[in-house]
Amino acid sequence: MATTTTALLCLCAVTLVASIGVDITEHLNKRAGSSRVAFSAGLTTNLELHQPVNITFDRVFTNIGDAYDNNTGEFTCPAAGTYVFQFHGLTESDGSIWMELFKNNAYVISAYSHSANDYGAASNAIVLQLAVGDVVHLQGHGDVYLYGASDEVYATFNGFLLYPAKSS
C-alpha cells in the first residue's frame, strides 16, 4: 500500500510540474547552489606539433557554462567542485601521440601511443578538485601527430562538473 501511495504521489508531482512548466533541473541546481558546467570539443584537422604547446580543439560540441575556450584550449573553472576530464587522440601509421593534462600549469596525467604499422590511439581520464579560476588544458609533448577531419573526429577533450563544492 505504501509503495502504491508513494508512486501515486510521485506521478502527481511530475504531472503538476509538467502542467505549470517548471524546469525541475534548474530549480534543483539553484537550490543546491550549483551551476551546470560541461564541455566537449573535437579536432577536425590534422595537428602536427614538435614542441610543447596547448592542443586547441576547434569543434565545440557543447560548452555549458562557457568555461572552455577553443582559441587557447583552456578550461577555466567557473564553479568550485569535483570535475571529470577525459581526452582521446588518434595518430596515423608511424605516428606518435603524447598528450599531457595540466592543472594551473602543473603536470597531472599523460596518454601515449605509438604504432609502427597501424593507427595508434591514446586516452585517459581523471577526477579533479577545482577552485574557481583553476585552469585545465592539454599539451602535446615531443613530436605529436593528431589525426582529425571534419567528417571523422577522433581527438576529443571533455569535462564536466560532477559535484559542486559544499557551501560553507
- State pLDDT tens for residues 49-60: 888 889 999 999
pLDDT bucket at 34, cuts 50 / 70 / 90? low
pLDDT bucket at 92, cuts 50 / 70 / 90? confident
* pLDDT given for residue 148 in this prediction: 86
* pLDDT given for residue 13 in this prediction: 40
The mean-pLDDT minimum among 9-23, 27-41, 141-155 falls in 9-23
What's the mean pLDDT when you consider all of the chain? 83
User: CA angle, corner 91, sides to 86 and 95, nearest 5?
Assistant: 135
Q: b vs e for 133-166, b when ≥16 Cβ sit within 10 Å of the residue's Cβ? A: eebbbbbbbeebbbbbeeeebbbbbbbbbeebbe
pLDDT bucket at 162, cuts 50 / 70 / 90? very high
Share of the chain above pLDDT 70, in %: 79
CA–CA distance, 65 with 159 (Å, rounded to integer):
11
Q: Which amino acid is at 153?
A: V
Contact 77, 134 (CB under 8 A): yes
Report the DSSP pairing between strands 120-130 and 135-140.
unpaired
Higher pLDDT residue, 142 or 96? 96
pLDDT at 46 over 60: yes
CA–CA distance, 83 with 108 (Å, rounded to integer):
14
